[in-house]
Amino acid sequence: MPTVVLAGTLDTKGHEYAFLRERVAEHGVDVLLVDVGVYPPQVEPDVSRHEVAAAADADVDALAAAGDRGEAVAAMARGAQTYLARLHDEGRLDGVLGLGGSGGSSIVTSAMRALPVGVPKLMVSTLASGDTRPYVGAVDVTMMYSVVDISGVNSISAQIMTNAAGAIAGMVNAAVPELEHKPLVAASMFGVTTPAATRARERLEELGYEVLVFHATGTGGQSMEALVAAGYVTGVLDLTTTELADELVGGVLSAGPNRLEAAGAAGIPQVVSLGALDMVNFGPRDTVPEQFSTRHFYVHNPTVTLMRTTPEECRELGARIGAKLSAARGPTVLFIPRKGVSMIAVEGQPFHDPEADAGLLEGLRGALADDVEVHELDLDINDERFAVAMADRLHELITETDRGPS
């Protein structure tokens, strides 16, 4: 029988969790109630707040006495991460369900993010209708908006919690069908590199791989890096490295400073290109910071505004990419499309800028180590020949490691 862990601050949400525990148990699954609060609980848990705090080398009574809410939340989040990971390793956790406001959501989703991808994770939160990125991160946390505050059991909250109970019970009882085992390859794409990513994926599938494509939206790059670091994939076709431009300049789709490092650190084959480094992403045109008012923009649609990277920015991007690739521990190949890094950077399109392209190449050449293999093709990135060349080279690298299709 699968076990659902209910993790929550039972000092303020104990009665709601008691109701939720009954609803989950009605679906024929085991339930384990874990207290991540710092004050005495309203209901008796299966795992006490003392045990959770101890997992973070903290004393829950000292946290309560100090009265520092921020420190208490941080400590209990660390404890919950460690304790829930331990439960999963012991086979005592098949899914996690939580209820909370800002503090409870922060603690519980922190623990959820420490669990492997695929473990069901459902958070009912007052914050689920806003920016959920701090809670979801780069993993498969499902957020459900609570509609009303989680304060008592009423006609609205009872329905929401009942729905959540049914959802998590369904998740832990769902069986993934048996799929044909194929080596996994991670690939990155963006709207302006879609033709290349599509053709590369098709070619890799022809060669016997299963391809996981990640949209370079910040969280997409983070998800790809996380799965690579976790050992899920045999190789990476990092066609679209645009998130590095947002990290450098201050766009809205940054994947953080560690983007383009997981494959190198893991020592697995990677074939990389410069997709969409011609642009930095913002929201609607009127949301672009005033400091960029004189820059060159392209309104992709009413909610997406693109800003052309300058020669100086491109030079720095080239240097950063060169340094990251040079530090890689495994086979690393760079493909350079000489006729444009996106569909709007080719000649005749709005972001065509030979000076910026030259800056990018200058930065790369100054930072790349001699052992990084480089292919400069007189093609644009979306040319079918470019995509196939990248895919074929990745296949060759993987085959040399004896991890390719059988």
pLDDT tens profile 95-128: 999 999 989 999 999 999 999 989 999 999 999 9
Question: At residue 181, does pLDDT exceed 80?
Answer: yes
* Model pLDDT for residues 20-68, shown as the tens digit of each residue: 999 999 999 999 999 999 999 999 999 999 999 999 999 999 999 998 9
Question: At residue 341, does pLDDT exceed 80?
Answer: yes
Cα–Cα distances in Å, from 157 out to 21, 141, 142, 164?
Answer: 14, 21, 18, 10
The identity of residue 305, as a single letter, is T
Residue written as token pair 């420490």: 114
Question: At residue 301, does pLDDT exceed 90?
Answer: no
End-to-end CA distance of the chain: 36
Residue 92's pLDDT band, with cuts at 50, 70 and 90, is: very high
Please return the burial class of 311, using the count of CB atoms within 10 Å of its CB with bins 0-12, 13-18 and 19+: middle
Question: Looking at residue 350, what is its pLDDT?
Answer: 96
Provide the CATH number for the domain formed by 184-400 in this structure.
3.40.50.12030
- Cβ burial 11-37 (10 Å sphere, 16+ → b, else e): bbbbebbbbbbebbeebebebbbbbbb
Cα distance between residue 46 and residue 49, in whole Å: 10
Residue 16's pLDDT band, with cuts at 50, 70 and 90, is: very high
Question: At residue 406, does pLDDT exceed 80?
Answer: no
Question: Looking at residue 372, what is its pLDDT?
Answer: 96
Cα distance between residue 247 and residue 245, in whole Å: 5
Residue 382's pLDDT band, with cuts at 50, 70 and 90, is: very high
Q: How is domain 3-173 classified at the architecture level of CATH?
A: 3-Layer(aba) Sandwich (3.40)
Equal fold, 3-173 vs 184-400: yes
Cα distance between residue 59 and residue 61, in whole Å: 6
* CA 46 from centroid of its chain's CA atoms: 32
Give ∠ CA 216-172-134 in degrees, rounded to 5: 35
Q: What is the mean pLDDT of residues 153-169?
A: 96
Question: Looking at residue 246, what is its pLDDT?
Answer: 98
Question: Looking at residue 404, what is its pLDDT?
Answer: 83
In the chain, pLDDT over 70 holds for what percent of residues?
100
The full set of domain ranges for the chain reads: 3-173, 184-400
Q: What is the mean pLDDT of residues 174-179?
A: 87
